[in-house]
Chain A
Amino acid sequence: MAINAEADIQAACRAARQLAETLGFSRAAAYHIATAASELAANVLFHGGGGWLHAQALFDAQTQQALGLEVLALDHGPGIADIALALTEGYSTGKGLGCGLPGVKRLMDDFMIESAVGAGTCVKAIKWR
């Protein structure tokens, strides 16, 4: 879904939680996913100037069982010059506590970030069941 306004952040957060609950995640895990989605969506809007947040289930090809949930955040904003710095606790360029990205990293199981200055940022986070 597109993230272009602050209301979209809440919608993304709700959608991610619903998907997590449908997939049978525990309540705690569903809240972790929802908070991570909210955090990533806020980053897309405030730092990336708008973009997309995509949440999808990851299925086992053979058994068709849900293995996990992937949240993908994409923007064409200014990009992150120093990813290690952005992942540092307490470092913030915007109006957060400086724990957004490191927080998402801790809340989710797998976390990948790709960014090119001037081109945009892509963050992928997966929570396994």
Chain B
Amino acid sequence: MKIPILRLERILLVSIQVDLTDNDAMQFQSDLVEQVAEIEALGVAIDITALDVVDSYMARVINDTASMVRLLGAEAVICGVQPFVALTLVEMGRDLLGADCAFNLGQGLEILRGRIATRGDTRFSENEDV
């Protein structure tokens, strides 16, 4: 099960729709970090709207992925945590999802754009080669 990575200008979108096996998760993470590094992505939105059960293993995969993306220098946001997923994750233990979250992909993109703007990333503004 390969997770497609979509590109929207300098932002990458991924949607996780099934539980990932160990191999899937590794494949997905290496695909993503490779792509982030390649295009020097400024942000990554990870959409988990379709996941209605998130156990501690999936929570770790999602957290780790967000951390990897941040280490590379991009912003990461998790979108679409389902109400019952939130309920169960908090019940299980705090900090299962450490990254920032947004209601949906639209809001996630807004957050990413806002954050990219405030961190004053001028690397790619028009006067790049000055």
Contact = CB atoms under 8 A, between A and B. Distances in A.
A70 B55 CA distance: 18
Given A6-B21, A27-B84, A42 B92 contact: no
A102 B93 contact: yes
A106 interface: yes
B85 interface: yes
Nearest to B82: A31
A97 B91 contact: no
Interface in B58-93: 59-60, 63, 84-85, 87-88, 91-93
B54 interface: yes
Contacts, number: 69
A40 B6 CA distance: 34
B53 A32 contact: no
Contacts of A89: 93
A107 B21 contact: no
B96 A99 contact: yes
A21 B119 CA distance: 47
B21 A7 contact: yes
Interface stretch (A9-17, A53-61, A76-84, A111-119): A9-17
Interface residues of B, number: 21
> Most chain-A CB neighbours within 10 Å: which of B21, B53, B63?
B53
A28 B88 CA distance: 8
B19 A10 contact: yes
Contact of B57 (A17, A31, A95, A107): A95
Interface of B: 18-19, 21-22, 52-57, 59-60, 63, 84-85, 87-88, 91-93, 96
Given A27-B84, A32-B87, A104-B92, 11 more contacts: A28-B87, A28-B88, A31-B52, A35-B54, A39-B57, A97-B59, A97-B60, A97-B96, A99-B96, A100-B55, A107-B88
Interface of A: 6-7, 9-10, 13, 17, 27-28, 31-32, 34-35, 38-39, 42, 89, 95-97, 99-100, 102-104, 106-107
